[in-house]
Amino acid sequence: MEADGALDAAALERELRAAVAADERRERENDAKLRALHQRVPSYEEFRNIVLASHLKPLEKKDKMGKRMNVLWNPCAARTKAPQASDMEIPQELDQLPGTSAEFYRDWRRCLRSGKEKYQLLLELGGKALGRMFQADLGFGLLGEFLTVLAEHVCHEDRDAILQILESLSRTKRFGLNVDLLSESEKESSRDLFRKLQSMSRDYRTSGHPRGPAGCEAEREAHIMDPSLQKEAEEERIVMELMKCYQVD
């Protein structure tokens, strides 16, 4: 019982520290946003850089710059003995999947070196976990990075999982603001992602049923009889609704 109690206390302490770290990060980013607005920065890229660098602190006089130090900038990479295949597995540096937004932000920035690894992490977590993790706040810049990664690596086999991810993210707080703050390249990635999702839906329908008057009638009958086609029609409706949420024309 004491051991169980100790484990519970340790888990609670980790969750508390992660929550405090997430609150501190949100406060820093909000302060940086207000500072950037007050300075009237001329471009979105400068605004974004100010927010992303909000965790940095200026050097003080006591900081010694002349002395060479062996600083381990990326402790995750140092533990890698050989290149790992990133097409099927999460990197071995991650002992376990992140459970909080603070843990996710840390792993996303430090331990994942390729878009494929980031894509695989999003799929491993899934829409429900991501929606729960970022329910209170989706960190600044993350939405654009998610859309870019998904657009670059989306495939038909992952279509359902990606729709669930997009749907869960659209329910997070201040989602509309995050969409408004997307850069032009991120908006183009969003459009590209939804084009691919729509194309996958069209390919599915045309590969299984001929077009033309007879084909259309057969397709209508198939939609009534075939549960898989009914599911595809529902997914297409979801895609259209998500396009409105993500402001994709």
Per-residue pLDDT tens digits for 130-147: 999 999 888 888 999 999
Question: 188 with 239, same domain?
Answer: yes
DSSP 99: -
- Coil, strand or helix at 94: coil
Mean pLDDT confidence for 1-26 = 68
Q: Which domain holds residue 106?
A: 86-249
Q: How confident is the model at residue 211 (pLDDT cuts 50, 70, 90)?
A: very low
Domain presence at residue 25: yes
214-236: per-residue pLDDT in tens?
555 555 555 555 676 777 788 78
Place 57 in a pLDDT band, splitting at 50, 70 and 90.
low
pLDDT tens, position by position, 66-91: 544 444 444 444 444 434 434 445 55
Is the pLDDT at 212 greater than 50? The verdict is: no
C-alpha 123/C-alpha 103 separation (Å) is 17
Same domain? For 155 and 246 the reply is yes
Q: Give residues with Cβ within 8 angstroms of 79, minimum separation 6.
A: 92, 93
Q: What is the mean pLDDT of residues 102-108?
A: 90
Q: Which of 52, 77, 94 is the last residue of a domain?
A: 52
Specify whether 164 is located in the same domain as 248: yes
Question: Which range (132-141, 205-214, 229-238, 239-248) has the least confidence?
Answer: 205-214
Q: How far is CA 94 from CA 76, 151, 153, 211, in A?
A: 8, 24, 21, 49
| DSSP type of residue 95 | S
> pTM of the prediction?
0.59
Both 130 and 226 in a single domain?
yes
Say whether both 47 and 101 belong to one domain. no
Which of 12-16, 32-36, 43-47 is the least confident region?
43-47
How many domains, in total, are found in the chain?
Answer: 2
